[in-house]
Structure 1
Amino acid sequence: MHSLRCLVLTLAVFLAGPACHLFAFAQADDVNAEDINITAPVPSDLEPQDPPSWNVLDIHAKSLEVKVKQNPTKELTCPKTDNGRNRQYAAHKYTVNQIQAAFRAGINLQSKGKQTGDNHYPHNFRNGDRLALGACGNTRTKSEFPIQIDGKTYSGGKVDAVPDRVIYEYKESKKTLEVWFCGIVRHGTGNNFLNCP
């Protein structure tokens, strides 16, 4: 009887979930089913959670140490654009704090090997329009990450109504991610980008 109770207790701990009840029945005459009813209570403030899922975009086993070599230091204004089909955007000035929030969100994801949204941000920025981007040159790889006009930090989804991007350069090693803020660009007509000085 003792070994049966130990087995049931072990199973109860292993299988415990919200209000888990485990009943065991034995053929022994001296063991009652009520004697083996085990309840594993769960605190009421805890909600059941989905099991973690693997993100196929995770490429690092752990986060890289981020070393910011150049931060945003001034407000930047994106020009008015008319990209057709309900995509007209007024000129918009971003504060240093708004720029910093988008910049940090992008490098935080990149340091963990993650991306977000339908277009997988942050992703490489090739600068096909050959824009002059602050103090950044053309020697290091660049990334882009959305910056939202409404002041919120982009956390995924479509970017049809988000025309502006924070651009930064990066250099990645096995342990560190060095980053340099470059500037902001805005989608113009077609796939062209415009500088936000």
Structure 2
Amino acid sequence: MRLSLAFVLTLIAVVAASSSESASCGAAQYSSDAIARAANASCSRVKKGTAIGANSYPHVYRNSEKIDLKGLRGPFYEWPILSNGRIYDGGNPGPDRVIITKDCTPAGVLSHQGATNNAFRECALKTTSDSHAPMAEYRLVLAVFLAMMVLAFAA
């Protein structure tokens, strides 16, 4: 099996490239790390089948607003994301939520702010490249190594 140079270069780009998504929900700003931590907390509870708080989070998000959640299919679960940076522990959930799928894929960040009748609206997402992050050079080295291994075994 012969691999093309284009395939190898694509492999390098995919492994080396990384992006992160932050969100703005009104005045609240959430980093990609905060979103990931909230999604992980939700995932843990979804997998265990446990819930906390008066509204039993995580609970099913029915998407009655018909928001495009990255083209993903449900069932979806909503979990509070707190503007103070803490992980929701059963207290006041605030207005903002992280949405995940049953298999824990992050699907979006929504807010009750600016919506009527307890509905949700999408928070503004911003995708940024991590090309200047400290780990970028290590990802690139790993990508080149993997590409060389693929070429060596394909020859």
Q: Same fold per TM (> 0.5)?
A: yes
- C-alpha distance in 2 between matches for 1:121 and 1:106: 8
SS in 2 for 1:144: strand
Residues paired across the two proteins, number: 104
Cα displacement (A) at 1:169: 1.1
| Alpha-carbon displacement from aligned partner over 1:46-69 (angstroms, at most 9, x marks no partner) | xxxxxxxxxxxxxxxxxxxxxxxx
- Which residue of 166, 169, 176 maps to 2:101? 169
- 2:79 paired with 1:145: yes
Q: 1:75: which partner in 2? A: 22
* Relative contact order, higher structure (CA 8 A, sep 6+): 2
Identity over aligned residues, as a percent? Answer: 33
> Aligned-pair RMSD on alpha carbons?
1.5
- Which residue of 88, 105, 108 maps to 1:154? 88
Q: 1:112: which partner in 2? A: 48
- 4+ runs deviating over 2 angstroms: none
Q: 1:64: which partner in 2? A: none
Q: 2:119: which partner in 1? A: 192
- C-alpha distance in 1 between matches for 2:20 and 2:49: 26
- C-alpha distance in 2 between matches for 1:143 and 1:73: 21
- 2:29 paired with 1:132: no
SS in 2 for 1:192: coil
| Unaligned residue ranges in structure 2 (runs of 5+) | 1-18, 125-155
Q: With the length of structure 2 as denominator, give the TM-score of the two structures.
A: 0.63
Q: 1:3: which partner in 2? A: none
Cα displacement (A) at 1:73: 3.0
SS in 2 for 1:166: strand
Q: With the length of structure 1 as denominator, give the TM-score of the two structures.
A: 0.50
SS in 2 for 1:101: helix
Larger Rg: 1
- C-alpha distance in 2 between matches for 1:115 and 1:166: 15
Report the AA paired with residue 53 of structure 2. Answer: G
